[in-house]
Amino acid sequence: MTDVAILHDRFPGIGGGEEFAIEAARVLDAPIYTTYVAADTELPPDIEVIPFQQSKYTSLPWRPFLEWKNEGLNPLETLNVALDLTDAHPALTEYDVVLESAPLSKYYVPDVGQRIVHYPHSPPRWLYDLYRDRLSSFQLPFVGIGLKAYAKAWRALDKEANDYVDRFVANSELVRDRIRQFYDRDAAVVYPPVTGDWRNEGDDGYFVTWSRLAPEKRIDLIATAFAGLDERLVIAGDGEQRDRLEAVAANSDNIEVRGYVEDIESLVARATAVVYAPKREDFGLVGAEAMMAGKPLLGVDEGFTRYQVREGRTGLCFEPTVASVRETVRRFDPDDFDADEIRAAARRYEYDRFAAGLREVVAETAAVDAPPDSDRADDAHGPERRRPEGVLDP
């Protein structure tokens, strides 16, 4: 029997990466090791989460310097998490396979004979495909030079850590292509699971969009487009752009900003369609959830979102401009779409397929040059590896 642990970089809250780690732990019956769990982060009771640097990141005097800020853009916190993950928790060496969730987890240095499956969600985008976009946001020349040097150093470390990985797993064909391009490694594709009670309960005459209200999600683009339309738009989610979006809604009777909506499934169930415009999205859980609900997806023609939209069958595509969004909404006719056909296209995101794919990847990776059973001894915490003769305990 293969003993598996999940290594997730940190739990600053419950986002898409954290949800993946939780579901992977359920599928593989594995504990999750992580650097820290932020205050007020609610973890499910059926999952064992082991934070091995909790006090460092959540207690004084270091907490103000190491807090998660601006969607993770805290260089000091990122550096510390990466360094803490190199040795991580001593108990990790007892497992046959470590499934690494999120990019920084790749810095863990495995024990001899351990197998590493790395599910990065994407190579760090600020180092690769979004590098020029991020750099252009800093206008001061000396700041730009410093950022270039910082990124170059991180890029070298990021690629060096690939040596520890036995198997890459991508959450979409798009991310698989990024792994091939930036790392020169192949990857299996296992879609993240879509969980929740997604359903279609009719059409109450409003469009809906939801996500973190961050610039890369481009909710402001959608809101600006609907400000020039007669159609209703409901925006769900919270984040740094909420005040800006509420200002747009204050001047537009057809736009409503609801903030975080716990029962998002019920809001989507009565919507006409879902509108989604993220910048070169890795996977696009919102698009997958919309399709699971049988709702047409009006999605931006880039990133993985363009692959989720089958023009005229599961939705319509638009360019990332206000004019294109408006034109697409105007030509959209809900009677042209069949909810059953949309749900059929979303079957690839079903939980059972995710579980089967993840178990298969782990089993195949564990089977490569696996040590014979006679070299293993089980205890309450998992397998204990036999120490070579002549090697002393530290």
**Which superfamily, per CATH, for 206-348?**
Glycogen Phosphorylase B; (3.40.50.2000)
- Taking the C-alpha atoms of residue 150 and residue 78, their distance in angstroms, rounded to an integer, is 12
Cis peptide before 61 (omega within 30 of 0): yes
- The vertex-89 CA angle with 85 and 95, nearest 5°, equals 105
- Taking the C-alpha atoms of residue 251 and residue 385, their distance in angstroms, rounded to an integer, is 65
Average pLDDT across the chain, whole number? 89
Pick the CATH number of 4-192+352-371 from 3.40.50.2000, 3.40.50.150, 3.30.470.10, 3.30.1180.20: 3.40.50.2000
Instruction: Compute CA 177 distance to the chain's CA centroid, rounded to the nearest angstrom.
Output: 17
- The vertex-171 CA angle with 39 and 271, nearest 5°, equals 75
pLDDT in tens, 262-311: 999 999 999 999 999 998 888 888 999 999 999 999 999 998 899 899 99
Closest to 295 (Cα-Cα) out of 198, 195, 213, 212? 198
Q: Domain residues of the chain, as ranges?
A: 4-192+352-371, 206-348
User: Tell me, what's the pLDDT at 375?
Assistant: 46
Query: Which residue's structure tokens are 């692959």?
Result: 307
3-class secondary structure, 117: strand
Q: Is beta strand 382-385 parallel, antiparallel or unpaired with respect to 376-379?
A: antiparallel
Higher pLDDT: 204 or 139? It is: 204
pLDDT in tens, 241-268: 999 999 999 999 999 999 999 999 999 9
What angle do helix axes 322-331 and 219-226 make, rounded to 10 degrees? 60
What angle do helix axes 16-28 and 351-367 make, rounded to 10 degrees? 70
Closest to 25 (Cα-Cα) out of 177, 220, 193? 193
- Give the containing element (helix H, strand E) for 50: strand 49-51
Given a cut of 70, is residue 29 above it in pLDDT? yes
Span between the terminal Cα atoms of the chain, in Å = 29
Task: State residue 34 phi and psi, 5-degree precision.
Answer: -155, 160
What integer is the mean pLDDT of 110-122? 94
Q: Is beta strand 115-119 parallel, antiparallel or unpaired with respect to 167-170?
A: parallel
- Taking the C-alpha atoms of residue 278 and residue 291, their distance in angstroms, rounded to an integer, is 16
Per CATH, 4-192+352-371 and 206-348 having the same topology is answered yes
Quote the tokens at residue 42: 């609610």
User: Tell me, what's the pLDDT at 147?
Assistant: 80
Q: Are 203 and 270 in contact (CB under 8 A)?
A: yes
- Taking the C-alpha atoms of residue 198 and residue 342, their distance in angstroms, rounded to an integer, is 12
Q: Are 222 and 203 in contact (CB under 8 A)?
A: no
Q: Are 58 and 39 in contact (CB under 8 A)?
A: yes
- The vertex-271 CA angle with 22 and 263, nearest 5°, equals 35
User: Tell me, what's the pLDDT at 73?
Assistant: 73
Given a cut of 70, is residue 195 above it in pLDDT? yes
